[in-house]
Structure formats: C-alpha cells, structure tokens
Amino acid sequence: MSFCTKRCFSINTTVLKNIQPAVKLENTSKPGQTQRFERNFPVKSSQKAWEREGLDKDTFFKKKYAHVHARNKGTEEDIKSRDHYRELRKTKRKEENNEFKQQRFQHRNKYDSRDVYKTLKPNPLSEFIYGTSAVIAALEANKREFFNKLYIHKPDSKDREIIKLATKLGVRTVTVDSKHELNVLTNNAVHNGYVLETKALAPTSIFQLGETSGKDYFIDEDNFGDSLKQPFRTQNSNPLGIYLDGVTDPHNIGAIIRSAYFLGADFLVMSERNSAPLSPIVTKTSVGATEFLPIMTVNKPLSFFDKSRENGWTFIAADSISSVHRDAKIAQTLQSKFLKTDDLSSLLEKGPCVLVMGSEGEGIRTTLKLKSDYLVEIEKPRHINPVIDSLNVSVATALLIQKILN
C-alpha cells in the first residue's frame, strides 16, 4: 500500500496586496480591447513667447516692436513734408503723361489729315536740290532750264541773299512751317532749311576734245548726231580735263567735282553707261560746284580717247604698279607706261592733258589704260598694311590734280 504526501504552501494576503504593477493600465469594462500605455509617458508641452512672459499676444508684439513704430512715425512736420513732395511728384507725372498724350494726338492727326503730302508732293518732272550752298550756286549760275519754287523753313536775316536771287529770277518763295515738309521733298536728306524745285541739270554729250591753241581749245558737242564745235578758254598753261570711268558713288562724284573746280581743272567728262548720273546728292556733295564746272558725257569712250589723242590731248590714267594683268604682253605694255608723280606738271606744260580716274573697286578698264599715254601711281611714303591699299577716289583725284597743276 502506497501513500502520497501533498505539500501545501500558504501565502499571506497582506503581501499580495502590497505588490504594485510596473505599468498602470486603465480599467476597461470591454474585454479584448487593445490597451495603450504611451499615455503614461511624460509629455513636455511648449509655450508661446507671450505665454512665458505672462502677456497676451497683442500686448507682447506691441511691446516688442514699439521702437520700430516710433522711428517710422516721425514728427508731424516730417509727415507733412513727405506728403507735400509726394503730391508734387504725382502732379509732375500727371503733367508729363498729359503732354505725351497731347503730342501723340497731334502727331496722329498730322498724318491722318495728309496735308503735307497734298501740298508738297514731289514732282517727277522736277528735281529738288537742297542745302544753302547748292541752292545759292544754282541761282547764281542760272544754267538750268527753269526754277519753279524755293522752299524755306524758319527764314531769318541770312536768307535775304537767297530770297533776293530767287526774286530776281522770278522764283516764288514758299515758307513752310514744318521741317518734315522739306524732308518729304529731299528723301530725309540734310537740307539746312532750303529746297529749290528746278529742272534737272543735263550734262552735255560730246564726241571728242578738239584742237587747242595756247589757252584756247574746242570741244566737239553731239548736236543731235552732228558735231558742233564749242570754244573754251583755260586759265592754266594748257587745258586740263578729268575723265571718270565706272565711278558709281554719287558722293564720290560730287567730291571730285568740288575738288576739280576748286583746284583749277577746266572740265569733267563721264561715261554715260557706267557712271552715276548727276543728281541732287551730287550737287549737295559738290557744294554747288556742278553749276560752275563744265560737265560732259561720252557714249563711246574708246572712240573719244582715240580722236582726242589725235587732236593732241595726253591721257594720264591713275593705276597701281602692283596690279599685274594675267596676259604677260599686256602687263609688260602697262608697266612701260608708268611715270612718277613729279613728272606730271611737265606734261601739262607741253600740251593739254586729261586725268583718267576709275572706281575704287574695279579701277580703270584695261582697254582704257591701253589707250592712255601714261599711267601714274601715288607713291606711298611708308610701308602700310595691305588692307589699306588705296585712297578714296576723290582724295586721289585731288592729289593728282594738284601735282599736275603745281
């Protein structure tokens, strides 16, 4: 027979009551609900600046920025001064805007009315030369077939000479109020307040240069296909003429005419086909020298050279020694014709001469250089950059004329 012994342990209830849980849990009457214990963690709440100071929000910020308001507030006089200048600036801007609007309105109305174009529409049958010197020269020379009107902008005491010349020739003087009216007639050129409506200046067509006798010489004009000899007289030892081949820039032609007339050349001849025609630009650039220097044209340059040389005229063509023709025989012939500029004056002492000038780009045509008696180059006094290989044709013409007449 076996026996089992059972050990029994007794626990005091007082001890059990003193045992506390590590985490305090909320009591819930709902079994199975998840219990959260993060609420037992200590939470640090932040305070606003005004809360730390024990003030309300408005009082805190008024106290903090009181010095800024005091600085910007200023005195009562400062406030009045600022308001005064503010009103002045506002008034000035308003006046400027009103003035701009008024000018814009007047400008639009001027073009809407089209009065300028109705009263001063360019006449295709007339030519309008402009500039003080050009207008005076045209009136004094009186070479043109007719003068229609003289337009003047803002006349003063210095206009008496021009008005007197115009009145003497029966030219009606018209005073315009706007400079724009003259701009329409001159294509916005520099007119200096003077525009003369007149007949275009037509150069005389000629066949050849005739025989000479001392200071007297003849030029055979083309009189509707017939040759008409016209007498001329020079103030030099022998007559000197200028021939232009292929000069198409009207400003260069005007400058050449001005230099030729001033330095003492007797006349100028141009090719009809490859040179710029006489125009108001040429007249303006020449400062009116087109009205005093005889200007002629030829239709057949080669024939002109041959027949004029037969009558004793010497042709001197400006060229560069460095330019070499691709044909060796022609190049050798041209090289043999060069002479120095110091020898030019002696040629004019022997007989009448013609200085031949070409364009800056192409120069004189080879056929005309072969027809010429001599070739000449302006010597360079020093070594220069090859980019600047030549002078302006008007400047070169002036230098060579001076050398010939020296």
| Residue extent(s) of CATH 3.40.1280.10 domains in the chain | 204-405
**Measured CA angle at 144 (ends 142, 149), to 5 deg:** 85
Residue-wise pLDDT for 251-267, tens only, equals: 999 999 999 999 999 99
- Whether pTM > 0.75 for this model: the answer is no
Among 74-83, 96-105, 319-328, 388-397, which stretch is predicted with the lowest mean pLDDT?
Answer: 74-83
CA distances from 139 to 107, 168, 183 (A): 35, 9, 21
Give the pLDDT band of residue 115 (cuts 50, 70, 90): very low
Give the pLDDT band of residue 322 (cuts 50, 70, 90): low
Residue-wise pLDDT for 130-173, tens only, equals: 999 999 999 999 999 999 999 998 877 767 888 889 999 999 99
**Phi (first) and psi of residue 210, to 5 degrees:** -85, -165
* Range list of H helices, 300-391: 301-310, 328-335, 344-350, 366-371
Residue-wise pLDDT for 178-219, tens only, equals: 888 888 888 888 888 899 999 999 899 999 999 999 899 999
| Residue extent(s) of CATH 3.30.1330.30 domains in the chain | 119-198
pLDDT at 123: 66
CATH 3.40.1280.10 fits 204-405, yes or no: yes
**Phi (first) and psi of residue 168, to 5 degrees:** -65, -35
Name the residue among 316, 349, 341 with its Cα closest to residue 399: 341
Among 48-52, 88-92, 107-111, which stretch is predicted with the lowest mean pLDDT?
Answer: 107-111
Q: Other CB atoms closer than 10 Å to residue 58's CB: what's the count? A: 9
pLDDT at 382: 77
The answer on pLDDT for 338 being more than 90 is yes
The mean per-residue pLDDT over the stretch 287-299 comes to 96
Fold of the domain spanning 119-198: 60s Ribosomal Protein L30; Chain: A; (3.30.1330)
